[in-house]
Amino acid sequence: MEDIAKEILTRASQGDMQAFEDVYKASSSFVYNVALRVVNNREDALEVSQEVFMIIYNKLKGFRFESSFKTWAYRITANTAINYAKRYSRTKTVPFEESFGEGAVFNEAQEHIDQEHKEKLVESLLNELNPEQRACVVLRDIQGLSYEEIAQALNININTVRSRLKRSREKLLSVRRKVDYEKV
């Protein structure tokens, strides 16, 4: 997420819509992409993103710059997306084994697979994880946050971040191995 000047945040907190649009522009890609990967479909990601920005707009008045805006926005986004995924668990993606079991390509040619195929692969892999695991993997692998930043965003300790990532990857490996085994 891009850094936002304190002056812009102050004006946005006073209800200045132009300043809030600047806040939106700097953070919308992070918010939408995290939401998309945690809820794992476009319509729900749009709803979550709207909810996140309404929370940011309404609570910005009380934001006192004691923590960084980024950490605060990470936390709102992750919590809203996880809660949404738990409440409305309507997974529309096809399980990994169905998508990539028969005739799936896992070799060097994978580097050249088209965007749509890559997207389908990511959706199917994330589909194998629960919302908390998905949030951890997304914040780490896709958004590149450090363990410390993930711990702050999810309000958990660093060892929990570590163990969630480890379990998520073990799960993804087992699914992947199962598909490979069925292909043989």
Partner 1 sequence: MKKCEQFRDLILSDHMDGELDRIAAERVQRHLLDCGECRAFLKEVASISLKQAPRQAVPPELWATIKENILQDKQKVNPLESILEKLQGLIIYPRLVPVFASLILMLVAGSVSLNTIQIQQTKDKEQGEYLVSLLGATSSSTQADNNDLGTPIEHYFL
Q: Which residues bind partner 1 (CB under 8 A)?
A: 17, 20-21, 24, 28-29, 32-33, 36-37, 42, 46, 49-50, 53-54, 57-58, 61, 64, 106, 115, 118-119, 122, 125-126, 137-138, 140-142, 146-147, 162-163, 165-166, 169-170, 172-173, 176
* Shortest reach from residue 3's CB to partner 1, in Å: 18
* Shortest reach from residue 142's CB to partner 1, in Å: 5
Which of 28, 91 has the CB closer to partner 1?
28
* Shortest reach from residue 44's CB to partner 1, in Å: 13
* Shortest reach from residue 178's CB to partner 1, in Å: 12
The candidate with the shortest Cα–Cα distance to 124, out of 90, 157, 92, is 92
The candidate with the shortest Cα–Cα distance to 167, out of 124, 139, 146, 137, is 137
Rounded CA separation 166/51 (Å): 30
Rounded CA separation 33/41 (Å): 10
CA torsion 17→22→23→25, rounded to 10°?
Answer: 120
